[in-house]
DNA sequence: TATGAATGAGCTTTCATTCAT
DNA sequence: GATGAATGAAAGCTCATTCAT
């Protein structure tokens, strides 16, 4: 009465989910750019054509796998401090650590898609609310800093938005240049003390007091 | 009798240089990721196969074209202040403006190559000294800030390296997220006052004085 | 307990008949050549695989649907005059009008199958007696003319068989060439006076009397 | 200096011509409908992809092969009598014989394309003048009969156009019904005396004199 | 050395058919 | 019997690379 199930798909999982998971694994390993439908089917241990029973085309599957990848990564990170919560320095440090881990996992997956309109557009269309690939990290940090500013722990004339851009940018900066120099993701190292140094610089600036 | 020259190659230029220039034009227009050798040959108005008389393969040609692109872009920007030269704020602002312009032109060209080992490795191999794709902007800014620190205009306990990472990162941050959301390069806008706000934040930090 | 019935199949109809009817509708709309089993199942609002419970394969279903299509079309046309019935000219005209209408409806459906042995062979095998796709129009016209000849209204040395071939051929001729020039069926027009002119020519010939 | 030549292509022939010829052979054998690019390449003993160096796509190649097939067939037939040339009966007979031979060779090739807009549209676009697939046989016969009519050998009140439609239609009629009954082309037989009987019927009509 | 056609592996996608449920 | 997802063999087409000329 119910239709057949693919041999390689565990009972607990639907085939679309299984395919997305397989694609997600490949994306985590080698990025989303060079994936082929055959490679995905093979990774899922499933016939070549199945994907078209569940997704409009390759791009839709990859868009969903990318979203799943982002969610998986984010789900594995400690939650970000909410605005008004905890002390400034600890909070900032949490943002930096979050950003580094996130970008380390996400940039390699996404970068190859730049200038390939298809998948990114598809991803943007998946859900309009949540289409910030990095989960709106910069915006959330801005909000956090604004709350600190309202509480008087950040100077009234400081610029939370610029600061957030710099902090999140520093996280990018750790990942992107090695990537663009051909360093494999696995070999990218976070220099010891990175978060602390970024936080300190952000807090006190360069000018002598 | 000198060897035959392709009709479309000007006398002043060698064929390899001509090919590199053609590829560079295409890269500037549409990035390095989707280029085909046929498209390059057509742009150069030269036979499909010539490239293999002068380069090992497509990857080498593209690597050289990328290097040329970076140099062209950098050559079109005002020179960076040297360490010890000018005042701190103006100098920093020059770095930010340079970084934004550079990344706007360079990231779209490079990003598509992430996780495609070939070209980037080739580029890194081209010249070991100079393989920083962004021309070592971060290192140069670090040096600049260190000189300011030596001159006492930057606090002795400040962290020039972290600051440089944040400033250059802020420039990335302006370009990369829109790119990853599918915004075409031409539509990426630099918010007014961006450089000034980054510089101010970098100089004075967030903490009230 | 009688076996389960597909939801979309009306009580008055067996599932095979329902499938044949669905395929027939599609054939009338777009010909038999490009049909897919999925399209047929969808039109029948029935599961993809059922067809294999009732037919050997797609070809058998399509062969039956073609036969049904021919019968439906023929059933919608006024009956042909029987041999010996009515007057010669009116009778002939009826054959022409029948032939034009029949071929307009049937040729587009069949033509795409030429040189695809499967379906046509299947159709021929369905019932050995009645496998004339056009319902044996030519044979019936021959019989009609022979009866007229016996009654003396057609010259004794005339050739009923040749005449029937020419008349039915003229009906084909109206439909096939436009079809082969890519004109869509809906746009094929019967020139006014067609039947009358064919009949007159058939009756009196070209030679001056 | 000149580029490479495919091994299987004779010196006397260009590759596009070679491909067209290969496709034409396959069309003559099995019609144009089911051809695959791989089958054509194999028949031409040439690599799969070549065709795209010379034709926009499969449809263009097939359209050209169809045109070539028509021309080849027509070139192998005795020329049609021109209007005003020879006597009426002999001329008419020539048209019938031409029509039968032409349609025997051409209908199987074309029929499968009905309702497949692509190739036929392409063929119509190849050359606007000459796009009558059967070489405008009906029109030419009409002209021939009109000339006979002007010369008084065809009755003044006869209908050359209707007669031409019937004659050419009779030629179709000989070929199409067997084809639609699944009879392979090779087995289609022209009944002895066919041309003579059609001509006589056309000349004298059915009505007793 | 320049040419540009030839090569063929590889791509995404379709679809008749099977079969566990 | 009915279901509809799974299967996998094609299909049309692209493109880096080779090589006779």
What does each of the 209 residues of chain D score in pLDDT, given as a tens digit? 566 766 677 777 888 999 999 999 999 999 999 899 999 999 999 999 899 999 999 999 999 999 999 999 999 999 999 888 889 999 999 999 999 999 999 999 998 898 888 898 888 888 765 556 676 899 999 999 999 999 999 999 999 999 999 999 999 999 999 988 888 888 999 999 999 999 999 999 888 77
Question: Which of D111, D117, D153 shows the shortest C-beta gap to C115?
Answer: D111
Question: Which of C133, C160, C169 shows the shortest C-beta gap to D173?
Answer: C169
Q: Lowest-confidence range among A17-21, B53-57, B59-63, B132-136? A: B132-136
Residues from chain D contacting residue C102 (CB–CB below 8 Å)? none
How does pLDDT run across A185-194, given as a tens digit for each residue? 889 999 999 9
Res. C4 pLDDT band, cuts 50 70 90: low
Q: Lowest-confidence range among A21-25, A47-51, C180-184, D187-191? A: C180-184
Is D164 touching C (CB cutoff 8 A)?
no
Rounded distance between C-alpha atoms, residue D177 and residue C117, angstroms: 14
Is D179 touching C (CB cutoff 8 A)?
yes
A77 close to A142: Cβ distance less than 8 angstroms = no
Residue at shortest CA–C1' distance from F20? D4
Alpha carbons within 13 angstroms on the beta-carbon side of residue D181 total 19
Q: Å from B182 to nearest chain A CA?
A: 5
A181 close to B128: Cβ distance less than 8 angstroms = no
Residues from chain A contacting residue B208 (CB–CB below 8 Å)? 152-156
Is C208 touching D (CB cutoff 8 A)?
yes
Closest to A80 in 3D by CA, of A101, A111, A58: A101
Res. A135 pLDDT band, cuts 50 70 90: low
So what's the pLDDT on residue C129?
A: 53
Q: Is A122 exposed, middle or buried (0-12, 13-18, 19+ CB in 10 A)?
A: buried
Radius of gyration of chain C (CA): 20
Residues from chain B contacting residue A187 (CB–CB below 8 Å)? none
So what's the pLDDT on residue C1?
A: 38
Name B187's Cβ contacts closer than 8 Å, sequence gap at least 6.
B178
Res. C184 pLDDT band, cuts 50 70 90: confident
Closest to C124 in 3D by CA, of C171, C66, C53: C66
Neighbours of B37 (CB within 10 A): 18
- Buried b / exposed e over A181-204, threshold 16 CB at 10 Å, is bbbebeebeeeeebbebbbbbbbb
Residue with the larger pLDDT of the pair B124 and C152: C152
Res. C123 pLDDT band, cuts 50 70 90: confident
Residue with the larger pLDDT of the pair D117 and B40: B40
Flag if C202 and D111 touch (Cβ within 8 Å). no
**Interface probe, candidates C150, C205, C208, chain D, greatest D C-beta count within 10 A:** C205
How does pLDDT run across D68-104, given as a tens digit for each residue? 999 999 999 999 998 888 899 999 999 999 999 999 9
Q: What residues of chain B, 36 to 75, have a C-beta less than 8 Å from chain A?
A: none
- For residues A79-100, give the mean pLDDT: 92
> Does the pLDDT at position A52 exceed 80?
yes
Q: Å from D47 to nearest chain C CA?
A: 26
**Interface probe, candidates D206, D207, D208, D209, chain C, greatest C C-beta count within 10 A:** D206
Output the CA torsion D24→D29→D35→D38 (10° steps).
-80
- For residues C103-118, give the mean pLDDT: 88
Res. A66 pLDDT band, cuts 50 70 90: very high
Does strand F come within 7 Å of the CB of B168? Answer: no
Residue with the larger pLDDT of the pair D77 and B207: D77
pTM assigned to the model: 0.87
Q: What is the DSSP string of A15-64?
A: HHHHHHHHHHHHHHHH-SSS--HHHHHHHHTS-GGGHHHHSSSHHHHHHH
Rounded distance between C-alpha atoms, residue B195 and residue B193, angstroms: 6
So what's the pLDDT on residue B2?
A: 43
The domains found in chain D, sorted by start residue, are 12-76 (1.10.357.10), 78-209 (1.10.357)
Strand nucleotide closest to residue A2 (CA to C1'): E21
- Buried b / exposed e over D134-173, threshold 16 CB at 10 Å, is bbebbebbbbbbbbbbeeebbbeebbbbbbbbbbbbbbbb
So what's the pLDDT on residue A132?
A: 61
Does strand F come within 7 Å of the CB of A44? Answer: no
Among the residues of chain A, which ranges form H helices? 15-30, 37-44, 51-54, 58-75, 88-111, 117-126, 137-150, 160-180, 194-204
So what's the pLDDT on residue A116?
A: 84
Average pLDDT, chain C: 88
Is D108 touching C (CB cutoff 8 A)?
yes
Average pLDDT, chain A: 89
Q: Lowest-confidence range among A59-73, B38-52, C120-134, D116-130? A: C120-134
- For residues A164-178, give the mean pLDDT: 94
Q: Is A83 exposed, middle or buried (0-12, 13-18, 19+ CB in 10 A)?
A: middle
Does strand F come within 7 Å of the CB of D58? Answer: yes
Q: Is B111 exposed, middle or buried (0-12, 13-18, 19+ CB in 10 A)?
A: buried
Q: What percentage of chain C has pLDDT greater than the value 90?
A: 67
How does pLDDT run across B95-116, given as a tens digit for each residue? 999 999 999 999 999 988 888 8
Q: Å from D146 to nearest chain C CA?
A: 11
A143 close to A91: Cβ distance less than 8 angstroms = no
So what's the pLDDT on residue B94?
A: 95
Number of CB pairs, chain C paired with chain D, less than 8 A apart: 219
- For residues B2-7, give the mean pLDDT: 53
Name C105's Cβ contacts closer than 8 Å, sequence gap at least 6.
C28, C69, C73
Q: Lowest-confidence range among B156-165, C52-61, D131-140, D167-176? A: D131-140
Q: Å from A60 to nearest chain B CA?
A: 15
């Amino acid at each position: 009465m119910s239709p057949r199930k693919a041999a390689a798909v565990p009972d607990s999982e639907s085939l679309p989910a299984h395919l997305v998971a397989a694609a997600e694994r490949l994306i985590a390993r080698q990025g989303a750019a060079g994936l082929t439908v055959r490679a995905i089917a093979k990774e899922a241990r499933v016939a070549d054509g199945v994907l078209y029973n569940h997704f409009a085309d390759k791009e839709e599957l990859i868009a969903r796998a990318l979203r799943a990848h982002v969610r998986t990564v984010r789900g594995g990170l400690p939650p970000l401090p909410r605005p008004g919560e905890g002390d400034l320095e600890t909070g900032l440090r949490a943002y930096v650590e979050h950003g580094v881990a996130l970008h380390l996992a996400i940039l390699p997956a996404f970068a190859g898609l730049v200038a390939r309109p298809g998948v990114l557009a598809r991803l943007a269309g998946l859900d309009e609310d949540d289409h910030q690939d990095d989960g709106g990290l910069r915006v959330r940090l801005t909000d956090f800093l604004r709350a600190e500013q309202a509480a008087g722990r950040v100077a009234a004339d400081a610029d939370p938005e610029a600061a957030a851009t710099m902090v999140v940018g520093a996280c990018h900066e750790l990942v992107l240049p090695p990537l663009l120099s051909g360093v494999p993701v696995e070999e990218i190292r976070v220099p010891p003390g990175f978060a602390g140094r970024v936080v300190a610089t952000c807090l006190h600036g360069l000018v002598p007091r």
